[in-house]
Amino acid sequence: MLELLAAAGDSMMRTNMANATKVVTAVEAARLLGLSESTLAKMRLNGNGPIYCKLGRRVVYRPTDLDQWLQSRTTRDTSDADARFLKALTVAHPR
């Protein structure tokens, strides 16, 4: 019985590690988004880019946050995109 519990615990630990949050560097995030590193840095400064994490001096992004940010930028026509662009210039990204 103890062996079964130990095996179940090992299996759960492997599953949790596999599902652990992965992060990408700012360079990788810029590449994934099709932006330059400097554009992504300016977006961090202005507060209208994707949510990011600071680990010491390092800036990292969670892929789920990049996906959410991209989804928030989806538009059907240019008038919708223009309105969103003007709003992004005046309002910081919600945290």
Q: Against a cut of 0.75, is the pTM above it?
A: no
3-state secondary structure at position 40? helix
Would the pLDDT of 25 be above 80? yes
- Give the CATH number of domain 22-90: 1.10.10
Q: Does the structure show a pLDDT above 80 at 74? A: yes
Domain boundaries, the chain: 22-90
- Residue 88 in 3-state DSSP? helix
Say how many C-beta atoms besides its own lie within 10 A of residue 16's C-beta: 9
Summarised one tens digit per residue, pLDDT across range 40-68 is 999 999 999 999 999 999 999 999 999 99
- Pairwise CA distance, residues 92 & 94, whole Å: 6
